[in-house]
């Protein structure tokens, strides 16, 4: 068997077309452009690269995005004031706080200060609670990207056994709840999981989000299963690889979302989709995201 490749680039093109249309029709409905604030503290080069990519994607869709760089010696009251100003700014519908923060600033402060109606990357405590309770909410954009790939590739989830490898607050945990809410039977694995292969071999869908080259090998995958690689690892020669041993797994799996060319293609678009949804919800007068 050779796995069908779930082509992130192709899916991204279809999503981009949909979002452009959604942005244009909502611009007319609301008479205000969708606004996204991309906030970071200090001049981290990899955050800068990410910001530039997001600004380009925003422009293609028709979202007005602005990067706001706060000084790296800003204190917690300054950071809180910066977020509160964006919460109150009617031209801003989505706020992305780039993480991690410098060590002297607490992520909790951001999670508790950002307005959940504008929390388009799903990092606030309210967003996490809403997700847990299956209330309307925003979710981390990478998790939304995984679901978008599965849905657009028509991979069924209801009643299926899904194993998520990785249990972080931004990936494994929120993804597990999203999959549970799609009626999958979900197992979450992490560094203390004993006999990982035994778990993954039982799965109809395996999502790997760890950051370890070659973690998922062919012998850990059931024939015909769907494998979604979320990991991003930079090799010594500077190339990007995922967590999945793709050449081996391709021979066993039914479908594979690879790295590069998979989930990453969708992450920014999902953030922008949630920004468009935030504008809809703010204009719709919903009390919460
Ligand atoms: P993280 O915070 O470091 O979390 C990694 C998770 O993997 C933890 O839950 C950890 O378990 C678990 N883990 C570590 N070693 C393991 C092992 N040998 N077996 C099973 N589980 C293991 O990382 P993250 O932020 O979630 O990111 C995960 C990967 O996704 C990274 O490669 C990152 O670069 C990538 N990523 C991709 C995108 C995208 O757009 N494609 C976006 C964000 C991140 P414990 O909880 O027990 O420590």
**Residue located nearest, by CA, to atom 4 of ligand 1:** 168
- Cα of 228 vs centre of ligand 1, distance in Å, is 13
Instruction: Determine which residue's CA is closest to atom 39 belonging to ligand 1.
Output: 264
Q: What is the pTM of this model?
A: 0.97
Q: How far is the CA of 174 from the centre of ligand 1 (A)?
A: 13
Atom number in ligand 1 closest to CA 215:
18
Q: What is d(CA 202, CA 254) in angstroms, rounded to the nearest whole number?
A: 14
How far away, in angstroms, is 216 Cα from ligand 1 center? 13
- For a substitution probing ligand 1, which of 100, 166, 233 has the most ligand atoms within 8 Å of its CB? 166
Q: Residue with the nearest Cα to atom 14 of ligand 1? A: 191
Q: Which of 120, 46, 103 is nearest to 275 (CA)?
A: 120
- Classify 63 in phi/psi space as left (phi over 0), alpha (psi -120 to 50) or beta: beta
Rounded-to-integer distance, Cα 173 and Cα 176, Å: 5
d(CA 158, CA 105): 41
CA–centroid distance, 123 to ligand 1, in Å, is 16
Residues 71-99 as b/e (b if ≥16 CB within 10 A, e otherwise) read eeebeeeebbebbeebbeeeebbbbbbbe
Q: What is the DSSP string of 130-196?
A: HHHHT-S----HHHHHHHHHHHHTT---TT-EEEEE---TTTHHHHHHHHHTTT-EEEEE-TT-S-H
If one residue of 211, 228, 229, 272 were mutated to test the ligand 1 pocket, choosing by the most ligand atoms within 8 A of its CB, it would be 211
- Rounded to the nearest angstrom, the distance between the alpha carbon of 288 and the centre of ligand 1 is 29
Give dist(CA 228, CA 217) in Å, integer. Answer: 13
d(CA 104, CA 10): 41
156: phi > 0 → left, psi -120 to 50 → alpha, else beta; which? Answer: beta
> What domains are there in the chain, each with its CATH number?
31-115 (3.40.50.10860), 141-265 (3.40.50.720)
Residue 261 Rama label (left phi>0; alpha psi -120 to 50; beta): left
Q: Whose CA is nearest to atom 22 of ligand 1?
A: 191
Whole-angstrom CA distances from 33 to 51, 61, 90, 94, 122 are 19, 11, 11, 12, 22
**Among the atoms of ligand 1, which is closest to the Cα of residue 259?**
41
Tokens for 219, please give them. 């012998």
pLDDT tens, the chain, 289 aa long = 799 999 999 999 999 999 999 999 999 999 999 999 999 999 888 889 999 999 999 999 999 999 999 999 999 999 999 999 999 999 999 999 999 999 999 999 999 999 999 999 999 999 999 999 999 999 999 999 999 999 999 999 999 999 999 999 999 999 999 999 999 999 999 999 999 999 999 999 999 999 999 999 999 999 999 999 999 999 999 999 999 999 999 999 999 999 999 999 999 999 999 999 999 999 986 545 5
φ/ψ (deg, to 5) at 197: -60, -35
| Cα–Cα distance measured from residue 270 to residue 19, given in angstroms and rounded to the nearest whole number | 9
- Paired tokens of 114: 């950002």
Residues with CB under 6 A from ligand 1: 142, 165-168, 170-172, 189-193, 196, 209-212, 215, 230-233, 263-264, 267
């Amino acid at each position: 068997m050779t796995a069908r490749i779930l082509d992130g680039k192709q899916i991204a093109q279809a999503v981009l077309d949909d979002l452009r249309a959604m942005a244009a029709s909502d611009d007319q409905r609301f008479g205000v452009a969708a606004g996204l604030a991309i906030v970071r503290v200090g001049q981290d080069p990899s955050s800068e690269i990410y910001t530039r990519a997001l600004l380009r994607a925003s422009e293609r869709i028709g979202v007005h995005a602005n990067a706001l760089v706060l000084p790296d010696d800003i204190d917690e009251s300054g950071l809180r004031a910066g977020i509160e100003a964006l919460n109150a700014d009617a031209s801003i519908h989505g706020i992305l706080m780039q993480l991690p923060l410098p060590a002297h600033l607490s992520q909790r402060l951001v999670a508790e200060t950002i307005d959940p109606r504008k929390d388009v990357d799903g990092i606030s405590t309210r967003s996490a609670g809403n997700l847990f309770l299956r209330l309307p909410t925003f979710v981390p954009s990478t998790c939304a990207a995984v679901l978008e790939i599965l849905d657009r590739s028509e991979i069924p989830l209801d009643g299926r056994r899904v194993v998520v490898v990785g249990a972080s607050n931004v990936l494994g945990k929120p993804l597990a709840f999203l999959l549970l809410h799609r009626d999958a039977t979900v197992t979450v694995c992490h560094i203390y999981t004993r006999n990982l292969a035994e778990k993954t071999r039982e799965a109809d869908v395996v999502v790997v989000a760890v950051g370890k080259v070659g973690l998922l090998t062919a012998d850990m995958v059931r024939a015909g299963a769907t494998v979604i690689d979320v990991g991003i690892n930079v090799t010594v020669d500077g190339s990007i690889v995922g967590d999945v041993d793709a050449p081996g797994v391709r021979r066993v799996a039914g479908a594979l979302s690879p790295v590069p060319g998979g989930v990453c293609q969708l992450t920014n678009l999902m953030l922008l989709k949630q920004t468009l949804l935030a504008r809809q919800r703010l204009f719709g007068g919903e009390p919460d995201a």
